[in-house]
Amino acid sequence: MTAPLEHKVAVITGGAGGIGKAICARLASSGATVMLTYRSSGEAAVAVLESLPGTGHSAHRVDVTDSAALREFAAEAARRHSRCDLLVNCAGTTRFVPHADLESLDDGLIDEVFRTNWRGAFAAVRAFRPLLEQHGGLVVNISSVAAILGTGSNVAYCASKAAMDCMTRSLARALAPRIRVVSVSPGLVGTEFIKNLDPAWREDQLARTPLGRLVQPEEIGDAVLAAATLLQPLTGCIIPVDGGRPLA
């Protein structure tokens, strides 16, 4: 099938970011109508829309930490399309803090990370649940190998992604059989954000990855598409796209 998601509606939070825009492109090229959210990067969101094949796509300024805004966004999806077949929770935030520097990981940053990375994803599922239930929908949570390794941008980020994976399992059980829920768990992804970091740090991370290369954003899009189309029996699982990083 050249357009396996034809007549389907996909909602992608954080769709203007490096991973989000690749997911939007992969789903749109497979026939889906895309509704993406952004918090502050309006120009980037417009650029993503203009790059997508097909018609009917839209961008919406929604802060996932605002549950009321998410409910209104779900109502807008219902008004526009009367359905949501796929929700991808890709919105996230972090800031680099050395793990041993406990004082720099202040309460404000901890709360921001968990509000966005965990509560935001949960609130999006809560808001879109009625639409997802109508046609047997799928939730894909974009997690991270940091959830397993405990090595990432900061301790709170690692913990938020571990919490997301636990949520994936809990909601897969709670929302079955009408809604499937999976996590896609990338390793180090070749976004502009990563490419602009210290080259020595990046090379060290690649040396610890058996395949010796960055995961490409498009490969995260492929994993989301596979979960939506080819891997229908899957729910409550964590799909690793990490180059074998946990093996090192």
Report the C-alpha gap between 234 and 181 in whole angstroms: 8
Burial label for 54, CB within 10 Å (0-12, 13-18, 19+), is middle
Report the C-alpha gap between 210 and 119 in whole angstroms: 33
Length of the chain: 248
CA triple 28-117-119, angle to 5 deg: 105
| Terminal-residue alpha carbon distance, the chain | 37
> In the annotation, is 38 catalytic?
no
Report the C-alpha gap between 237 and 184 in whole angstroms: 9
Enter the tokens of residue 165. Answer: 């994976």
Contacts of 202 (CB under 8 A, 6+ apart): 188, 194, 195
Torsion over CA: 8, 28, 239, 114 (sign): negative
Q: Cα–chain-centroid distance for residue 230?
A: 19
Write down the catalytic residue from 141, 157, 228, 239.
157
Q: Which residues are catalytic?
A: 157
